[in-house]
């Protein structure tokens, strides 16, 4: 069966290459008994793929059951999946078969498989490896022959790292992975799905179908759709029922979209991108500070020229000279600081000798100097220093290593 026939049979709408790729993998793996793990965001339509796999397999005449692992309480999940014996726990008035026993020679779809408790994951791993299990409260080993298809909207490697999912079970489940793309990656399908949902709503509620104008179509396609197809269907039905005007404008459509997600701009990854932006901001800060100090220096020179008394001009601008000396110490060509202590006792700090001053305008040196000052100000506390500099602590740590700054 080709991809188009599968779409028609299971009511799948769309022509996205990513969607076609996922359907093609499901079609190829269906005749085997290989375990499949379907991943993708919530609302993308993952539930269609285990049905495709079951119906195109040799087990199509056997039983099929979908189990939402996240909806079953942790205390009863083992009983639901593997069954229990009479009296094995409070309320177990009679023996009961579990899903793995009932669906023998069929297919079990475990939705939200990452929500399984760790103890249940151990039992599930044994079933996948040997086909054996035991009912709760029993020591008798039972055999089953089931095809397992799992699905999750969680990034399982993260769950493994946090100790919430077994690595060996992940590798056993993920024999063949199928990724269902989010709606924002299927822009060519969004308007098509909207028209289908609008037509279904019109038929269901016996009313004319709504249509979007050109600007509204642009808004629809560029919205991020965090809830994916499920969200698109709900919003389409809302508009169909509430709006009297059957032609929907962009302004009307925007009223039904959560404002926090209206922007078509992608969300920045809070990692290296943020660090790069922070470095750029730090350089801007250095440049602006240098410009301010140059302007102050110009003002000082003008004051010295206009003031007949040099001593008076120095006294009036003492605080400015002190700050300029502190921020920009003069050096010789070899890099040795030139310190001149003026005879005027009113000067508490040494003044830069204006002759033979070769000031470095290197941004790297200025950046290093700012970092040293911030660390000194906060006694080496990186978190406070990073906040003062307007950069991330991670970027500050990298800069400390880069400049060999001793804390």
In this predicted model, what pLDDT tens digit does every residue of 24-78 receive, in sequence order? 999 999 999 999 999 999 999 999 999 999 999 999 999 999 999 999 998 899 9
Quick check: 216 and 254 in contact, CB under 8 A?
no
Same domain, 23 and 172: yes
Domain-located, residue 55:
yes
CATH number for the domain harbouring residue 220: 1.10.8.60
Which residue, of 136, 152, 181, is where some domain finishes?
Answer: 181
pLDDT value at 180 more than 90: yes
Beta bridge partners of 68: 111
Domain-located, residue 295:
yes
Which residue, of 199, 231, 261, is where some domain finishes?
Answer: 261
Confidence of residue 281 (pLDDT cuts 50, 70, 90): low
Same domain, 237 and 167: no
Q: In whole angstroms, what is the distance from residue 194 CA to residue 201 CA?
A: 10
Same domain, 146 and 221: no
Neighbours of 138 (CB within 10 A): 16
Domain-located, residue 367:
yes
Same domain, 101 and 226: no
Q: In whole angstroms, what is the distance from residue 165 CA to residue 120 CA?
A: 11
CATH number for the domain harbouring residue 65: 3.40.50.300
Domain-located, residue 65:
yes
Please report the pLDDT score of residue 218 as a whole number.
95
Which residue, of 134, 164, 181, is where some domain finishes?
Answer: 181
- pLDDT, tens only, 350-373: 444 444 444 455 667 778 888 888
Q: Taking residues 260-269, report their average pLDDT.
A: 44
Same domain, 71 and 108: yes
Query: How many whole angstroms from its chain centre is CA 364?
Result: 33
Q: Taking residues 95-114, report their average pLDDT.
A: 95
Please report the pLDDT score of residue 57 as a whole number.
96
Q: With the CA atoms of 94, 97, 99 and 101 taken in that order, what torsion angle do they form, in degrees rounded to the nearest 10?
A: 170
Same domain, 292 and 350: yes
Same domain, 250 and 284: no
Percent of the chain with pLDDT over 90: 60
Domain-located, residue 266:
no
pLDDT value at 323 more than 80: no
Q: In whole angstroms, what is the distance from residue 114 CA to residue 378 CA?
A: 44
Confidence of residue 200 (pLDDT cuts 50, 70, 90): very high
Confidence of residue 284 (pLDDT cuts 50, 70, 90): low
pLDDT value at 98 more than 90: yes
- Sheet containing strand 147-152, edge to edge, reads 64-68, 107-111, 147-152, 36-39, 176-179
By CB neighbour count within 10 A (0-12 exposed, 13-18 middle, 19+ buried), where does 230 fall?
Answer: middle
Domain-located, residue 130:
yes
Tell me the whole-structure pTM to 2 decimals. 0.63
Same domain, 133 and 281: no
Same domain, 36 and 144: yes
Lowest mean pLDDT among 18-22, 122-126, 283-287, 315-319: 315-319
Same domain, 97 and 125: yes
On average, the pLDDT of the chain sits at 82
Same domain, 176 and 225: no
Please report the pLDDT score of residue 400 as a whole number.
85
Q: SS3 sequence, the chain?
A: CCHHHHHHHHCCCCCCHHHHHHHHHHHHHCCCCCCEEEECCCCCCCCHHHHHHHHCCCCCCCCEEEEEHHHCCCCCHHHHHHCECCCCCCCCCCCECCHHHHCCCCEEEEECHHHCCHHHHHHHHHHHHHCEEECECCCCEEECCCEEEEEECCCHHHHHHCCCCCHHHHHHHCCEEEECCCHHHCHHHHHHHHHHHHHHHHHHHCCCCCEECHHHHHHHHHCCCCCHHHHHHHHHHHHHHHCCCCEECHHHHHCCCCHHHCCCCCCCCCCHHHHHHHHHHHHHHHHHHHHHHHHHHHHHHHHHHHCCCHHHHHHHCHHHHHHHHHHCCCECCCCCECCECCCCCCCCCCECCCCCCCCCCCHHHHHHHHHHHHHHHCCCCHHHHHHHHCCCHHHHHHHHHHCCCCC
Q: In whole angstroms, what is the distance from residue 340 CA to residue 355 CA?
A: 11
Domain-located, residue 267:
no
Q: Give the relative orientation of helices 48-55 and 3-10 as an angle to the nearest 10 degrees.
A: 110
Higher pLDDT, 314 or 2: 2
297-to-28, 60, 203, 229, 323 alpha-carbon distances in Å: 75, 85, 77, 63, 11
Please report the pLDDT score of residue 316 as a whole number.
55
Confidence of residue 267 (pLDDT cuts 50, 70, 90): very low
Structural domain for 284, as ranges: 272-402
Choose among 154, 149, 147, 144: nearest CA to 176.
149
Domain-located, residue 407:
no
Choose among 262, 200, 208, 270: nearest CA to 236.
200
In the chain, the number of structural domains is 3
Same domain, 250 and 285: no
| Integer Rg of the chain from CA | 34
Neighbours of 337 (CB within 10 A): 10
Please report the pLDDT score of residue 324 as a whole number.
54
Confidence of residue 280 (pLDDT cuts 50, 70, 90): low
pLDDT value at 341 more than 90: no
């Amino acid at each position: 069966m080709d991809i188009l026939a599968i779409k028609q049979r299971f009511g799948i709408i769309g022509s996205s290459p990513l969607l076609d790729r996922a359907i093609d993998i499901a079609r190829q793996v269906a005749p085997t008994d290989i375990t499949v793990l379907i991943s993708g965001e919530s609302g993308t339509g993952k539930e269609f793929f285990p049905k495709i796999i079951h119906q195109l397999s040799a087990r199509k005449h056997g039983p099929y059951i979908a189990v939402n692992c996240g909806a079953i309480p942790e205390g009863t999940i083992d009983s639901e999946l593997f069954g229990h014996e009479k009296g094995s726990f409070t309320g177990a008035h009679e023996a009961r078969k579990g899903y793995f026993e009932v669906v023998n020679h069929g297919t079990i779809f475990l939705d939200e498989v990452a929500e399984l408790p760790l103890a249940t994951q151990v039992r599930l791993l044994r079933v996948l490896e040997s086909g054996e299990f035991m009912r709760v409260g029993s020591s008798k080993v039972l055999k089953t022959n089931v095809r397992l298809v799992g699905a999750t909207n969680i990034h399982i490697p993260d769950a493994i790292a946090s100790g919430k999912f077994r690595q060996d079970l992940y590798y056993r489940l993920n024999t063949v992975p199928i990724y269902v793309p989010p709606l924002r990656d299927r822009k060519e399908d969004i308007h098509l799905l909207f028209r289908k949902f609008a037509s279904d709503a019109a038929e269901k509620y016996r009313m004319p179908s709504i249509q979007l104008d050109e600007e509204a179509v642009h808004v629809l396609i560029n919205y991020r759709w965090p809830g994916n197809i499920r969200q698109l269907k709900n919003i389409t039905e809302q508009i169909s029922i509430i709006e009297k005007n059957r032609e929907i404008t962009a302004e009307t459509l925007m009223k039904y979209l959560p404002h926090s997600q209206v922007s078509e701009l992608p969300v920045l990854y809070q990692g290296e991108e943020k660090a790069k932006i922070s470095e750029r901001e730090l350089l801007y800060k250095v440049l602006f500070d240098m410009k301010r100090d140059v302007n102050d220096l110009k003002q000082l020179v003008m004051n010295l020229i206009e003031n007949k008394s040099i001593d008076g001009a120095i006294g009036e601008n003492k605080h400015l000279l002190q700050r300029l000396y502190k921020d920009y110490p003069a050096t010789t060509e070899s890099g040795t600081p030139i310190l001149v202590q003026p005879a005027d006792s009113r000067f508490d700090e040494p003044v830069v000798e204006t002759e033979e001053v070769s000031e470095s305008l290197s941004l790297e040196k200025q950046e290093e100097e700012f970092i040293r000052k911030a660390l000194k100000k906060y006694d080496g506390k990186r978190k406070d220093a990073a906040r003062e500099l307007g950069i991330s602590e991670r970027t500050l740590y990298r800069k400390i290593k880069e400049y060999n700054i001793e804390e």
